[in-house]
Structure 1
Amino acid sequence: MLQSIRAYKTDLILFALMAIAVPAIPYLTAGNFRTGVLILFAMFGIALAIACINSAKLGFYIALATVITVRFFERIYQQEVPVGAVLDLMIFSAAIGTMMKKSRKTAGAINYFREPLFMILFMQFGFYLLESLNPMAPNKATLGIFFRILLRYLLFAILTTIALRTKKDIYFFFKFWIGLSTVSAFYGCYQEWFGLPSWEMALIMTTPEKLMTTMIGGHLRVNGTMSDPAVYGLMMAITSILLIILLTASNAVINLQRKVLIVISLLLHLLALGYSGTRTGYVMIPGGLLLFLLVTIHKRNTILAAMFLIFAGGAILFGPFYGNATINRVRTAFVGTEDASLNVREINRHSVQPFMHSHPFGGGLFTVGGEGRAYNPGHPLAGFPPDSNLVRVVLECGWVMLIIVLAVYYLQLRYCLANYFRFTDEKDKLLAISTASMVFAFVISTYAQESGGLMEMAVFMNALTGVIVRSKYL
C-alpha cells in the first residue's frame, strides 16, 4: 500500500488539489469573481510547480507554452497575471527537481563552468552584479527584480540543455515550437479578418497609451496570443525564417505532405507578421535568410528558394498595390528613406555618443528611458529613449558590457556554423543553419528596437542557446 502511494504520489497530490478546486472556486467566485480567478490560477500554479519538480522536460515545455499563451487568457479574464513570477516558479521548480534526482549526473552532462558560451554568460551576470555598485545610479530599489529576471533566463538556458538530451528531443522541440507558433499566428490572422473580440477591445481602450501603441494610421495592429504587436511581429519573423529554411529540405527528409503543412503555417506567419505592423520583423526575414544563403549557396533548393523570395519581395515592394495598409507598411521598412521616426532615432543616438565614449561602465542600471525617470530622476540619461537593445546596453553598462554581449552573439553563431559543418545528416544540418539564421535575425532586431527585453523573445532565444550548446555534444 505504501509503495503504491509513493509510486503515484504526484498524481495523488494533483488529484487532491483539483478535488479541492472544483467546489471551492465556484463558491468563492459567486461572491467575488476576481478572487475566484486568482484562486484558480494559484491552484493551477501549485499543480504545475509539482509537475515541474517531477520532470524537468515537462517543466521546460510548460514554461515555453505559458509565456506564449498566458497573455491570451489574461485578456479573456480581464485580470493581469504576474507572468514573471509564474515563469520563475516553474523554472526554479524544474531546477530543484533536477538537483534532487540522483540521475542528474548521466552521460552527456555538460560542465557549464568549462563551456565557453556559458562561461561568458556567467561573466555577463557577474558584470551586472558589479554594475549595481555604479555610483551614477544611486537608487537600488529594483535591483532584486532585475537580477531575478537575469537568473530566470540563465536558468532557462541551462534547463533547456537538461530537458533536451538527444537529437529526438531537439527535433520535438522545433516541432512543438512550430505548432505553438502556428496557433498564435492563426489567432493573429483571425483578429485581422474578423476584428478583435469585445473583451480585447475593452482592454485596449482602458488607457490612451495602449490605444496609441496598437493603432497605426487608423488601423489596429494584431498581437495574437502575445503581450503586444511588437514582440508578436518579431516572433512571427523568427519562426518564418525556420519554416522557409525547412522548405528547402529534400523530399527524403521532409515529404510533400509535410511541406504542404509547412507552407500553410508559413503563410499564416507571414500574414500575421504583416498585420502586426512590426517593421523590424520585415527586415529580420531577409537578414536571417542572407546568412542561410551564404552558407548553402551551392545547393539547388537554396538557389530556387532565393529566386522565388526575390521575385515575391520585388512584387510586394514595387507591384501595383497601393490601397493595402499592410503592404504599404511593409514597403516603408525598405524604401522609406524619409521616415521621420527613424531620423529622430538617429539624431538621438548621435547626441549620446560623447557619453558612450567617456563612460566605459555606463550610467548604471535603470537610468535610461522611463525607468530612469521613475527610479533615478535627475540622471543625465533619464527619459532618453534608447529605441535599441544595444543602445540601452552601452548607455547603462558601457561599451565593456557591449563587447561581452557581442561576444555572446559571436559564440552562438560560431557554435551553430561549427555544428552545421560537423553534422552529416541533412536534417541536423538544416536545424543548425536555421538556428544560426534565427540568431542572426535576432541580432539585427537588437539594433532596431529593444527586442532583448521582451519576455517572449528572451525565453525563446535562451532556449535556442541551450539547443546550441546541447547540439555540440550530439
Structure 2
Amino acid sequence: MNKNILSTNNQHINPFEKISGSAALSNPKIILLFFVGVLFVGLVLAKLKMVGVGIFLALVVGTVYFNLLFKNPILGFYTAIGLNFIVLGLARYIKGLPLGFAIDGIMIITYLALIFSRFKERVDWSPANKTITILAGLWLLYCIIQIANPEARMIEPWIAGRGVGFYFFFFLILTFMLIDTNKKLDTFLYVWGVFSILATLKGFVQMVFGVDYAEKAWLDNGGAETHILFGKLRVFSFFSDAGQFGGNQGYAGVVFLIYSMAKKGLPKIFFITVGLLGLYGMMISGTRGSIAVPFAGFMTFFVLRKNIKIISMGFILVALIFVFFKYTTIANGNAQIRRMRTGFDPNNPSLMVRKANQAKLKVYLASRPFGGGIGHAGDKAQRFLPHAYLSNVATDSWYVMIWAELGIIGLVFHLAILFFTIGMASFKVMFRIRDPITKIKMSALISGMAGIMLASYGNAILGGMPTALLFYASMAIMSTPETFENEISEEIAISE
C-alpha cells in the first residue's frame, strides 16, 4: 500500500521542486561544480569588466526568474501583461532587437512551464474546453489559411500581423488554465492597474515637460505628422501611439471604477485611483475616438444592473456629457477637450477622409471576399509593400483593417465571435449569477469590452498592445463567471 502511495505521489513531481539547499551540499560533485562556477564567473568579470558584471547580473536574475516561473506558471501570465504595456515603447530606446517577439517568447515559455509543473502527469486542459476556445481555434485556422490568400504578396506582413489569430487563441487558453480563482483575478487587475498608473504618469510628464530624446527621434521620423497638431502634442506615453494610449486608458477607467464597487478599504482606493487616472490619461491623449469607451462602457454597466432607476440616471448622465461636448463650447480653452469635441462633429474633415477611404476599399474588396492578406493594409504595410494599393489606403478603424486584410468573410466571423462572447457573458451576469460581488467584477470586464468594441470602430485599438491581451484575457474570464461564483460559494460553505 505504501508503495502505491509513493508511486502516486511520484506522478505529481515537479522537476523544479527537487531537494535543494544544504541537503544538496552533501554531494561532493555539487561542491566541485560550485567552485568551478565561482572560478568561471571570476574570470569573466575580470575579462569583461562592467559588461561582465551586467551579463552576470542578467544571468542571476534570469535564473531566479525562470526557476520561479517553472514552479508557478502564472508568473508568465503576469509577465506577459506587464511586458505587453512597455514592449513597443522600449523599441524607441533599444534598436536592433526583435522586441516584437518578446510576447511570443514569454507565452511559449509559460506554456512549457505549465507542462513541466505537471511533470509525469498529463495536463488537464479541460478548463479551456469552452465554446469560445473552439471559435478562437477556427479563427486561428482562418488566419493561417490566409497565408495562401492569392492577394497576399509576401509572408513577412503575415508574420508581423500574426497576433490577430495567434495571440487571441493561445492567450485565451492560458487565461482559462491559470486565472481560476478570485485572488488570481484580482492580481491580474493589480498588475494591469500598476502599469496603467505608470502610463498616465508618463503621459503627464510628456504633456508638462515634453518628450525625451528617443521620443523626439520617433516624432522626427514621421510620428509628428499625427502626434503634433496645431503645435500641440498628442500624448502617447510609452504606447505605440496616442490612439492606443487614449483608448486603453479609457478602458482602464471603465473597468477599474466599476470593479472598485466590489472592493473595500485600500483595494477600493487603489481601483478608484486607477480608474480616475485612466480617464485623465484618456483626456490628455487628445484622441477623439477614445471617448466612446466610457460612453459605451458605462451605458453597458447601467443595463447590466437591470434597475430602471439606475438605467434612467445613467442615460441622463451620458446625455449631459454628450450635450457638453456637442452643443457647448465650455472648456474650449483646453486643447485636449477641444480636440475631443471635434469627434462629435459629423462634418469633421478627418471623418470625411475616413469615409472616402472606406468607399475606395468597398470597391476594391467587392471582388475579394477573403481580403488582401494579413498585414497587407494600411500604413504599417508600407515597409513591406510601399507601392501596393492597400498599403496606401489608411484603414484607421480596427474593423476596417480586418475587412481590408481578411475580407468580408473574416469581418463577419470576427464580429460574430465578439458579439457571441459579450452576449453570452451578459446573459449569465443578468440571469444566472447570483453573487453580487461576482456580478460587479464580471460587469466591469463586460463593460470594458463593450467600450473597446465601440471605440475600435474609429481607431485600431482592439488588436494593439497593450489592449489586445487585456481584452482576450477578459473575454476568457467573463465567459466563465460561474468559476468565480462557485469559489465564493464553497468558501461560505466551508466557513459555516
TM > 0.5 between the two?
yes
1:230 paired with 2:246, answer no
Q: In 1, are the aligned partners of 2:371 and 2:404 still within 8 Å (CA)? A: yes
The equivalent of 1:156 in structure 2 is: 171
Identical aligned residues as a percent: 19
The equivalent of 1:243 in structure 2 is: 256
Cα distance, 1:337–1:152 mapped onto 2, change above 3 Å: closer
The equivalent of 1:94 in structure 2 is: 110
Cα distance, 1:187–1:374 mapped onto 2, change above 3 Å: closer
Q: In 2, are the aligned partners of 1:78 and 1:203 still within 8 Å (CA)? A: no
Unmatched runs of 5 consecutive residues or more in structure 2: 1-17, 26-32, 485-496
Q: 2:83 aligns with which of 66, 82, 94?
A: 66
Q: What are the Cα deviations for residues 417-455 of structure 1, in whole angstroms up to 9, with x where unaligned?
A: 133132212121012122221111222122212223312
**Counterpart secondary structure, 2:341:** helix
The equivalent of 1:360 in structure 2 is: 369
**Counterpart secondary structure, 1:452:** coil
- Name the amino acid aligned to 2:437: K
**Counterpart secondary structure, 1:102:** coil
Q: What are the Cα deviations for residues 348-369 of structure 1, in whole angstroms up to 9, with x where unaligned?
A: 1122223333322223334323
**How far, CA to CA, are the matches of 2:22 and 2:177 in structure 1?**
25
**Counterpart secondary structure, 2:429:** helix
**Counterpart secondary structure, 1:352:** helix
**How far, CA to CA, are the matches of 1:41 and 1:399 in structure 2?**
48
Q: In 2, are the aligned partners of 1:451 and 1:457 still within 8 Å (CA)? A: yes
Give the drift of 1:91: 1.0
With structure 2 as the length reference, what TM-score do the two structures score?
A: 0.79
The equivalent of 1:215 in structure 2 is: 228
The equivalent of 2:451 in structure 1 is: 441
1:52 paired with 2:69, answer yes
Alignment of 1:283-298 (within 5 A): 283-298=292-307
Give the drift of 1:42: 8.0
Q: What are the Cα deviations for residues 70-104 of structure 1, in whole angstroms up to 9, with x where unaligned?
A: 455555x5556533322222111110111223377
Cα distance, 1:78–1:332 mapped onto 2, change above 3 Å: same
The equivalent of 1:454 in structure 2 is: 464
Of structures 1 and 2, the larger Rg is shown by 2
Cα distance, 1:337–1:197 mapped onto 2, change above 3 Å: closer
The equivalent of 1:167 in structure 2 is: 182
Cα distance, 1:195–1:41 mapped onto 2, change above 3 Å: farther
Alignment of 1:283-432 (within 5 A): 283-298=292-307, 307-308=316-317, 310-311=319-320, 314-315=323-324, 318=328, 320-334=330-344, 336-370=345-379, 372-376=381-385, 379-421=388-430, 422-432=432-442
Q: What are the Cα deviations for residues 385-416 of structure 1, in whole angstroms up to 9, with x where unaligned?
A: 22222122222222111121012102220232
**How far, CA to CA, are the matches of 1:41 and 1:221 in structure 2?**
36
Q: In 2, are the aligned partners of 1:51 and 1:59 still within 8 Å (CA)? A: no
Q: In 1, are the aligned partners of 2:376 and 2:390 still within 8 Å (CA)? A: yes
Q: In 2, are the aligned partners of 1:54 and 1:94 still within 8 Å (CA)? A: no
Unmatched runs of 5 consecutive residues or more in structure 1: none
**How far, CA to CA, are the matches of 1:17 and 1:227 in structure 2?**
42
- Name the amino acid aligned to 1:445: A
Give the drift of 1:214: 2.3
Q: In 2, are the aligned partners of 1:161 and 1:469 still within 8 Å (CA)? A: no
Cα distance, 1:26–1:381 mapped onto 2, change above 3 Å: farther
**Counterpart secondary structure, 2:20:** helix
Q: In 2, are the aligned partners of 1:189 and 1:268 still within 8 Å (CA)? A: no
**RMSD of aligned residue pairs (Cα, Å):** 3.8
Cα distance, 1:357–1:42 mapped onto 2, change above 3 Å: farther
Segment of structure 1 superposing worse, 256-265 or 384-393: 256-265
**How far, CA to CA, are the matches of 2:426 and 2:481 in structure 1?**
11
Cα distance, 1:135–1:260 mapped onto 2, change above 3 Å: closer
Give the drift of 1:266: 3.1
1:199 paired with 2:213, answer yes
Q: What are the Cα deviations for residues 189-240 of structure 1, in whole angstroms up to 9, with x where unaligned?
A: 2332x313543554345x3402223212211122223232221111101011
Cα distance, 1:222–1:429 mapped onto 2, change above 3 Å: same
Cα distance, 1:363–1:180 mapped onto 2, change above 3 Å: closer
Q: In 1, are the aligned partners of 2:397 and 2:459 still within 8 Å (CA)? A: yes
Q: In 1, are the aligned partners of 2:378 and 2:395 still within 8 Å (CA)? A: yes
Residue correspondences, number: 455
Cα distance, 1:61–1:42 mapped onto 2, change above 3 Å: same
**Counterpart secondary structure, 2:392:** coil
The equivalent of 1:180 in structure 2 is: 195
Give the drift of 1:380: 4.4
**Counterpart secondary structure, 1:447:** coil
Q: 1:471 aligns with which of 461, 467, 481?
A: 481
Give the drift of 1:61: 0.6
The equivalent of 1:279 in structure 2 is: 288
- Name the amino acid aligned to 2:131: P
**How far, CA to CA, are the matches of 1:149 and 1:351 in structure 2?**
24
Give the drift of 1:263: 4.1
Cα distance, 1:173–1:343 mapped onto 2, change above 3 Å: same
Q: In 2, are the aligned partners of 1:274 and 1:326 still within 8 Å (CA)? A: yes
